[in-house]
Amino acid sequence: MKTSGYYEKSGITLVILLAGVILLLVAGCGIAKDETEIDDISTDQSFEVEETGTLEFRANGEDFVRRGFVSKDGWHITFNHLYVTLTDITAWQTDPPYESHSGDTITGEVDVMLEGVFTIDLAQGDENADPLSVGRIDSVPVGHYNALSWRMIPASAGPSEGYSIYIDAQAEKGDQSYNVYIGIEQEYFYQAGEYIGDERKGILAQGGFTDLEMTFHFDHLFGDGELSLDSGLNLLAPGFEPFADLMAEGTVDVDLAILRETLGDLEYQKLVDILLTLGHVGEGHCHCECL
């Protein structure tokens, strides 16, 4: 027979456990509340803040795109034009900082979008040229823009029409010389954290100026002849040889649809995988999705 003391103690225990559960739920509610608050204070283009500055968005194909380089398999490649078409370029202020490896969607306290679609020729300028200005917005809220997202979409007109990336280059090796036209019709969505590089970008003070950079690493595609073949970059890079094998009358003129039919399965998959890694913020990696 159970004594009244037993019921008393069991009751106390149950109360203690229930109290613990309730407190945990309260703590849980607090976490959810924090997330909601972040969503609630997101802003759009109609800023009503007193402290503002100017934010510029830039695109950079890096110096080796402007001066040419040697691929991992010994092809000297010089770019006449290297077009990328960018849109929905958005700077974010996020807290905590966005981590691209998480694969999450960026959410931020402040977001600033550059309206429009921009086709940029990353091969413009000499090797010492500054990154290309895509556009700037005046009177954006001050703060630390520590995340960046953009879409890369097929161009609707112009020399790269139909392609999000269009390479117009010359490839030479020994006595071989090819005109190279490679179009990528896939659409991509990039999300990145803070710019990684020589300088810190994205910190905007009252009346000040800052810039953010979309950086494209085309050595990931062709490899780098200055690195050993067993370097991480060269192991992942398709190189130029797979494209050279598709040469017809001194010209390589292909797009993803043709490459899907003509490359081997492994080579095609290697190409598709590496295209996801082209977009960076300086040396910082992006989370990239095919759309």
Partner 1 sequence: MTQTVHLLAFILFIPAGIALAHGVSVTWKACGEEITIEAAWDNGLPMVEAQVTVFSPLDPASPFMSGVTDDEGIFVFKLDDSQVGVWDVQVRKAGHGEMVHIDLSSDEIPGGGASVYTTSQILLMAVCVIWGFAGTAFFFHSRKKRKPDAHT
Q: Give contact residues for partner 1 (rule: CB under 8 A).
A: 1-3, 6, 9-10, 12-13, 16-17, 19-20, 23-24, 26-27, 30-31, 34-35, 96-97, 99-101, 144, 193-194, 196-197, 200, 203, 217, 219, 232-233, 277, 282-285
Nearest approach in angstroms of CB 54 to partner 1 is 16
Nearest C-alpha neighbor of 56 from the set 125, 155, 148, 189: 148
d(C-alpha 238, C-alpha 235), whole Å: 8
Closer to partner 1 by CB, 105 or 251: give it.
105
With 0-12 / 13-18 / 19 or more C-beta atoms within 10 angstroms meaning exposed / middle / buried, residue 125 is: middle
Is the Cβ of residue 146 or residue 160 nearer to partner 1 in the bound state?
A: 146
Residue 200: helix, strand or coil by DSSP? coil
Kindly state the smallest distance separating residue 9's Cβ from partner 1, in Å.
Answer: 4
Closest approach of partner 1 to the CB of residue 123, in Å? 19
In terms of CB distance, is 245 or 283 closer to partner 1?
A: 283
Task: Say how far apart CA 218 and CA 10 lie, in whole Å.
Answer: 69
Query: Is the distance from CB of 163 to CB of 119 less than 8 angstroms?
Result: no
Question: In whole angstroms, how close is the CB of 261 to partner 1 at the nearest point?
Answer: 29
Q: Which is nearer to partner 1, 31 or 248 (CB)?
A: 31
Question: What sign does the CA torsion over 29, 32, 38, 44 have?
Answer: negative
Closest approach, Cβ 129 to partner 1, in A, equals 19
Contact 156, 244 (CB under 8 A): no
Rounded to 5°, the CA angle 94-96-99 comes to 85
Query: Quick one: 26 or 266, whose CB is closer to partner 1?
Result: 26
